[in-house]
Amino acid sequence: MHNIKRENSSSLEKTALRQESIYTTVGEQKLHLRRFYHHTNGPAVWMVHGSVEDGHIFYSSSGKGLAPFLAKQGYNVFVVDLRGRGKSTPKVDATSKWGLSEILEKDFAAYLSKIIEIKGPQPQHWIAHSWGGVLMLAWLARHTPAARVTSMVFFGSKRHISIFNFKKLLQIDFGWNFLSRLLVKHYGYLPGKRFRIGSESESARSYRETFRWVADKEWLDWHDGFNYKKALKKKGLPPALYLTGANDKVLGHYKDVARLIAETGSDRAKLQIIGKKEGFLHDYDHINLLTHPDATRDHFQLILRWMQKHKL
């Protein structure tokens, strides 16, 4: 049995859009999924957020964002809060000894099993922001989903950062590599929200494992040396749409997004820069690519067409 807590806001009731909290457990971890839907038989969509954030990157308390947008188009959307983030408990602190390995090997299976428990083994669409896309691809390199994935969409997803500019010096070299490392050493975890590094915290191990993947040129597992790049190139990945904002100068720079696409070896991947030169309303950055109020009438329409094209 799955534990569901319904929380319908008045703004969503006007459009008959429903949302509810669903929980599943992995050991002491209580993992949260936020579900958005009009009716129960819509196609399933799984959304995974990135580092030092939670599932709210895909929705707001007032019912705005990509998850409610797709639900209004008839999809059943399930938004993850990775362990310790958002409504998943216990919250990240110095006692959190887990890392990305546990998320990939234990939690992803639990999330996907819960969705299949609710929706059955029907085809799914996968969507991720930033580091969430790297985690999705890493999981696919080692596993075969029980339900077929018909399409994927990634927002500003990159693994290795190769570009160099002032923002990179400030955000990555100083903020992520130097300051965050000091904070992890002092507190035993990365208190991202407290120091405005992000909206959530990261465990010490997940920070260190993320750090290595961002810094290392080769995409290897931290523990057994598994080569994710080689494994992905042997897989027939689903069609994937990679979006990045024209004003995303560091965290999802188009050159590094293109580099991630090359690492997958997929010939069914498309990269689209979202900016004025490309005919869109704004030059979006790493965050407002998902949160800008104009996104629903701008590039969210592109995402909808992509999913509709690859629905079978």
Could you tell me the CATH number of the domain that includes residue 126? 3.40.50.1820
Q: Residue 57 falls within a domain, yes or no?
A: yes
Residue 203 has pLDDT above 80, yes or no: yes
Average pLDDT over residues 18-46: 96
pLDDT of residue 145: 94
Domains contained in the chain, number: 1
Amino acid at 182: L
Integer-rounded Cα radius of gyration of the chain: 18
How far is it, in rounded angstroms, from Cα 289 to Cα 247?
Answer: 9
pLDDT of residue 79: 98
Q: What pTM, to 2 d.p., does this model score?
A: 0.94
Decide: residue 138, CB within 10 A, 0-12 exposed, 13-18 middle, 19+ buried: buried
Q: Residue 212 falls within a domain, yes or no?
A: no
Structural domain that includes position 70: 3-162+227-309
How far from 181 is each of 189, 209, 211, CA to CA, in Å? 9, 12, 9
Binning pLDDT at 50, 70 and 90, where does residue 6 land? very low
Closest-CA residue to 129 (of 257, 312, 307, 310): 257
Q: Residue 220 falls within a domain, yes or no?
A: no
Extract the tokens encoding 134.
């790297």
Q: Residue 185 falls within a domain, yes or no?
A: no
DSSP 88-121: -BSPP-TT----HHHIIIIIHHHHHHHHHHHH-S
Cis peptide before 191 (omega within 30 of 0): no
Q: Which of 4-13, 80-89, 95-104, 218-227 has the lowest mean pLDDT?
A: 4-13
Binning pLDDT at 50, 70 and 90, where does residue 4 land? very low
How far is it, in rounded angstroms, from Cα 74 to Cα 136?
Answer: 24
Q: Residue 180 falls within a domain, yes or no?
A: no
Decide: residue 41, CB within 10 A, 0-12 exposed, 13-18 middle, 19+ buried: exposed
Average pLDDT over residues 146-166: 96
pLDDT of residue 121: 93
